[in-house]
Amino acid sequence: MVAVTIWGSLRRFTDGQGQVEVEASNFKELLDRLSQDYPGLKPQIERGVSLALDGRIYREAWFTEIGPQSEVVLMPYMAGG
Amino acid sequence: MALDNTPKRVFKVVGTRPPRPDGVDKVTGRALYGADVSAPGMLTAHILRSPHPHAAIVSIDTSAAEALEGVKAVVTAADFVRQDDGSLRDVLDNCMARDKVLYDGHALAAVAATTPDIAKAALKLIKVTYKALPHVTDVDAAMRADAPVVQEGRSLETVPDGMSQNVTSHCEFGHGDLAAGFAKADLVVERSFTTAATHQGYIEPHACLASMTADGKADLWCCTQGQYNVRTLCAAMLGMEASQLRVTASEIGGGFGGKTTVFIEPVALALSRKTGRPVKIVMSRDEVFKATGPTVSSSIDVKIGMTRDGRITAAEAHLRYSGGAFPCGTVDMGAQSAFASYDLSAVRTLGWNVLTNRPKEAAYRAPGAPQAIYAVESVVDELCQKLGLDPLDVRLMNAARKGTRSSYGPTFDDIGLIATLEAAKAHPHYVAPLATGQGRGLSAGFWFNFGGNTCVSLNVNTDGTVGITEGNPDIGGSRAAISQMAAEELGIPYDKIRTIIADTSSLGHNDVTDGSRVTFAVGLATIKAAQDAVAKMCSRAARIWGIDEEAVVWVDGAAMPAGPNAGKFPPMTLAEIAAVSFNTGGPIAGHFEFNADGAGVSFGVHLVDVEVDRETGATKVLRYTVFQDAGKAVHPSYVEGQMQGGAVQGIGWALNEEYIYGADGRLQNAGFLDYRVPVASDLPPIETVILEIPNPGHPYGVRGVGETPIVPPLAALSNAVSRAIGTRLNSLPMSPPRILKALSKG
């Protein structure tokens, strides 16, 4: 299981939990599972999210592997100028 | 000045300052910018813009305009493909209003004619019937329940029930127990701030030339930060397949984030399709201000608790951003950045994006971060003043470091904030004496940086030179940096390499030049492409020598046997291998494509001294020093230029620049005479200190550097002015009238 930290305004879609656990070995599985287990997150995930894995931020990269001890944080999709 | 205390590989080309490849063209006026491209039979187009801040379009009658001699076509929103995707629809509706005009200057029709004068005359013949609607241009006013609704039904599911329909999104970040944190504080300061919308202020206006033929193929030349994104947007709006639209980016006269989208490009294409002739559009400065992206305007509340020895016990910020008449996510970035420089056990940021009757926001270096960090760093400075603490020591005490759980969630790995703060503390500027009436301010700043989709080709020419094709417009020296990294990897001189920017049909997709990504991501792809070419050259040498490929290594620009057992052959240089390439298997090229990650976050610290004229309210910047964790500086002059440029733009933002709207909802200062950007005579030399803390995500340690430098200046200037006049200012810009008002109250 992977523990995923959810940002505050999305907690209303995870029963108030700031961290949820899902079965996933890479980003695609993780996002699919989050959308399935917490349908309220699906619109945000479809609009775009970033994921931080052990402090490193990824904007896409479905097949990035996640270890069971990895720190995973869901973040808004990064934009820049 | 470069501080470099970390062991790393010895570079031969990276870290040097070769002449910039675009220098001669730019100083001789030969460089081709967006407005410089022309074509035989070309028409000129002009755009009709709304005089109303908010109105329903009851009807548009273009018949009289179309009947004018010399007019070849008129387009309105009806000439574009309506988009299902929300963000794409917003971009299109911003280019050409559909049912309502949403701000002063919103486009709603365009005319292509044989001369500019005819096109302008035709605009006056277009009869638009408007139904004026109530408007709102202030972010706080737009959040009130009785505010005019700019667009209905745009609120995301994240917006709590009961809020104005103008609130389109809500975000929250942070961790820890705020109440317990504030209870531990010896002093809590809570302040409210506002920042005005500012423009990126690029000197080159938006310009493009579109040419579509009867078989539906089109070419588009434009000034942009991302030709592939232009292609994606325009192809969708025109109902074209991407392969049929080739977009070529011109040289660019500044972008800073403002040229990451489209404004006139789809309009020129639609007119070209309708007329069958090339169509050129060049925006006036008035149009650039009225209808292209300023930053968000903001209203921010910050509350911070601190112990008497300087430890921050809790921190909270509420951020209300308006990106104009369309939804945007910039407040998410501000809310994540606000406290990123601090190691906090209790922190919370809440953000709301709000619609107003202003132009659609476009990105501006580190979008969202300068406003948030201005507010936070101002309160930190006030706490230091009130507690009698050194502001640098307090920042060092509370600085984020490796292992800190960041205020936006992830745990930091290696970051350079403490080294950057220590460099500022050790610098002579920090202890230089100040005269009466002068003030010194400082601020830390943060930006994420990212990588993104990138594609590079590297071709080895038969004369031993190398051509590199990359797909990102050069807005900050990337052609030089990319050539340097290729030279480093190939082991050949810098001047044997030329890097060019591809059009969209010549190379695979590249993301926009934004997010401080290009030197990092394109540089990394270039290194990999060079390694690909090196492997092929080693293979050719192996075949010539009749030994295994694995027995050949690349050293100082030549293939060599790996050791005595591989055989005894003299090294073959790149030029020697290239010269016989047709005989050994054909042309030699390297290629690499990927979606880059691992850009590494960046921190900066700015130090500024000011003097305020108490009679006029004018602020003079006396001394300015920028310290930045820049990773390996590939071309230090360009890195310094980024740091200096960010500081200068931030000085303008802090002291003078603002979008001023009248009660009628119209923009009152759409020109450089009334919108005051700093000029050389306003500024002291901007000193720079580069800290080369390597980014572990790049083989040379490169980090993005382009955005972080605009983050700290707002607070640094505000803290300096506040200390100089003895009164704290909580609103930007600190223009002379605002300073006089503060002095009269103080």
What digits encode the pLDDT tens for the residues B640-679? 999 999 999 999 999 999 999 999 999 999 999 999 999 9
A14-69 pLDDT per residue, tens: 999 999 999 999 999 999 999 999 999 999 999 999 999 999 999 888 999 999 89
Write down the pLDDT at residue B702: 94
B518-551 pLDDT per residue, tens: 999 999 999 999 999 999 999 999 999 999 999 9
Q: Which amino acid is at A55?
A: G
A42 to chain B, minimum CA–CA distance in Å?
11
B127 to chain A, minimum CA–CA distance in Å?
38
Scanning B423-452 for CB atoms below 8 A from A yields: 447-452
Identify the three-state secondary structure at position B240.
coil
Q: Which amino acid is at B521?
A: A
Q: Which site among A17, A50, A57 would you substitute to test the B interface, given the most B Cβ atoms closer than 10 Å to its Cβ?
A: A57
Residue pair B493/B525 in contact (Cβ under 8 Å)? The answer is: no
Output DSSP code: residue B550.
G
CATH class of B1-31+416-449+600-746: alpha beta
Between the alpha carbon of residue B605 and those of residues A58, B277, B424, B684, the distances in Å are: 26, 52, 7, 18
Write down the pLDDT at residue B8: 55
Strands laid side by side in the A19-22 sheet: A19-22, A2-5, A72-76, A49-53, A56-58
Question: Which chain A residue shows the shortest CA-CA distance from B368?
Answer: A80
Q: Which amino acid is at B76?
A: T
Scanning A4-43 for CB atoms below 8 A from B yields: 5, 7-10, 13, 18, 40, 43
Parent domain of A28: 2-76
Q: Which amino acid is at B696?
A: P
Q: CATH assignment of B452-596?
A: 3.30.365.10
Domains: count for chain A = 1
Write down the pLDDT at residue B3: 44
Residue A50 exposure: Cα atoms within 13 Å on the Cβ side: 25
CATH number of the domain bearing residue A17: 3.10.20.30
Question: Which chain A residue shows the shortest CA-CA distance from B225?
Answer: A81
Return the ∠ at Cα B458 (arms to B455 and B461), rounded to 5°: 160
**Cβ pair A80:B330 closer than 8 A:** no
A1 vs B: CB within 8 A: no
Residue A41 lies in a domain: yes
Residues of chain A contacting B452 with CB distance shorter than 8 Å: 59
Point out the residue among B260, B410, B697 whose CB comes nearest to the CB of A81. Answer: B260
Write down the pLDDT at residue A79: 86
Write down the pLDDT at residue B2: 45
Sign of CA dihedral B566, B569, B575, B576: negative
Residue A51 lies in a domain: yes
B409 vs A: CB within 8 A: yes
| Nearest residue to B520 (alpha-carbon basis) of B272, B706, B393 | B706
Residue A28 lies in a domain: yes
Output DSSP code: residue B374.
H
Sign of CA dihedral B697, B702, B706, B707: positive
B318 vs A: CB within 8 A: no
ipTM score above 0.90:
yes
Residue A81 lies in a domain: no
Question: Which chain B residue shows the shortest CA-CA distance from A46?
Answer: B85
Residue intervals in chain B for CATH 3.30.365.10:
1-31+416-449+600-746, 452-596
CA–CA gap between residue B304 and residue B318 (Å, rounded): 12
Q: Which site among A27, A59, A63, A77 would you substitute to test the B interface, given the most B Cβ atoms closer than 10 Å to its Cβ?
A: A59
Q: Which site among B448, B453, B516 would you substitute to test the A interface, given the most A Cβ atoms closer than 10 Å to its Cβ?
A: B448
Point out the residue among B157, B333, B597 whose CB comes nearest to the CB of A56. Answer: B597
B325 burial via Cβ count (<10 Å: 0-12, 13-18, 19+):
buried
Return the ∠ at Cα B445 (arms to B177 and B196), rounded to 5°: 95
Point out the residue among B173, B329, B515 whose CB comes nearest to the CB of A7. Answer: B173
Q: Which site among A19, A42, A56, A66 would you substitute to test the B interface, given the most B Cβ atoms closer than 10 Å to its Cβ?
A: A56
Torsion of CA B55, B58, B60, B61, to 10 degrees: -140
B460 to chain A, minimum CA–CA distance in Å?
31
**Cβ pair B172:A5 closer than 8 A:** no
Write down the pLDDT at residue B746: 67
Q: Which amino acid is at B493?
A: P
**Cβ pair A80:B336 closer than 8 A:** no
Q: Which site among B408, B414, B520, B707 would you substitute to test the A interface, given the most A Cβ atoms closer than 10 Å to its Cβ?
A: B408
B161 vs A: CB within 8 A: no
Mean pLDDT per block of 10 residues along chain B (746 residues) reads 53 96 94 96 98 98 98 98 93 97 98 98 98 98 97 95 96 97 98 98 97 96 98 97 98 97 98 98 98 97 98 98 97 98 98 98 97 98 98 98 97 94 98 96 96 97 98 96 98 98 98 95 98 98 96 97 91 98 98 93 97 97 97 97 98 98 98 96 97 93 95 98 96 97 88
Residue A43 lies in a domain: yes
| Nearest residue to B209 (alpha-carbon basis) of B366, B373, B36 | B36
A70 vs B: CB within 8 A: no
Residues of chain B contacting A64 with CB distance shorter than 8 Å: 597
Q: Which amino acid is at B136?
A: V
Write down the pLDDT at residue B1: 42
Point out the residue among B171, B174, B516 whose CB comes nearest to the CB of A76. Answer: B171
